[in-house]
């Protein structure tokens, strides 16, 4: 028997794509698109929680994004500073628990401090669990997890017989977070782009041509309605 997909997905992962194209259509600089996309995050988080979704994970900045023009990277980092500062207030207002996944060690120390502060002040909130993927790549996450496992094995804290799927998951950035049920990618692209490669093994994929700044509550409802048509057998019959 397949899982009852008439229920709302517990965890939705989103690849925020199309900020640059949104700006280009309006003859604006790409940075204006990123700013518009940033403002859309809270709206979608609020809509998701009101729909009964418990976890939302958004792909904000990948390990590959460093290869973009330096001017754009600098603007994104500046926007990130501003967003994290606002998110501390937002998390309190919306009772939202925020967690950052990815390798934050490459980020500026001040940015790392903001991330730790945000996670600390929101840790006891009981509303939406909101994960932000920053300097995140699925392969990099697995690489870091394997290194930790090897180190634990060398230290005598891990045996080969203990390496199960659940044990591997404990070494990932998403430890204690349920795997996504639904993955949404905006702007018409149809690829994972190194996003949550382990965690999305049995997720349903929904692709929409809507650009991220234009992705609203109605678009989210469409994605959930698509999810509810799927027969999730997880390899069974």
Residues belonging to the active site: 17, 65
Q: Which long-range contacts (CB under 8 A, 24 or more apart) does 75-78 make?
A: 75/31, 75/34, 76/34, 77/107, 77/108, 77/111
**What is the phi/psi pair of residue 172, to 5°?**
-85, 165
SS3 176: coil
Longest dimension (CA), the chain: 59
206 exposed, middle or buried (CB, 10 Å; 0-12, 13-18, 19+)?
A: buried
**What is the phi/psi pair of residue 58, to 5°?**
-120, 135
């Amino acid at each position: 028997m397949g899982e009852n997909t008439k229920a709302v997905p517990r965890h939705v992962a989103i690849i925020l794509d199309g900020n640059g194209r949104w700006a280009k259509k309006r003859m604006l600089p790409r940075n204006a698109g990123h700013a518009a996309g940033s403002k859309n995050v809270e709206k979608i988080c609020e809509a998701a929680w009101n729909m009964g979704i418990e976890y939302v994970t958004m792909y904000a900045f990948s390990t590959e994004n460093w290869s973009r023009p330096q001017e754009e990277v600098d603007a994104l980092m500046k926007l990130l500073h501003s967003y994290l500062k606002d998110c501390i207030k937002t998390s309190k207002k919306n009772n939202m628990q925020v967690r950052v996944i990815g390798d934050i060690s490459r980020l500026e120390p001040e940015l790392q401090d903001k991330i730790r502060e945000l996670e600390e002040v929101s840790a006891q909130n009981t509303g939406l669990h909101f994960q932000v993927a920053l300097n995140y790549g699925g392969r990099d996450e697995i690489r870091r997890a394997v290194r930790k496992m090897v180190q634990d094995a060398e230290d005598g804290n891990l045996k080969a017989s203990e390496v199960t799927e659940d044990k591997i998951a404990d070494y990932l950035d998403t430890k204690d977070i349920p795997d996504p049920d639904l993955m949404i990618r905006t702007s018409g692209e149809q690829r994972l782009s190194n996003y949550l490669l382990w965690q999305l093994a049995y997720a349903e994929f929904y692709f929409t041509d809507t650009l991220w700044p234009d992705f609203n509550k109605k678009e989210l409802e469409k994605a959930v309605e698509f999810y509810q048509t799927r027969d999730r057998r997880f390899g069974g019959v």
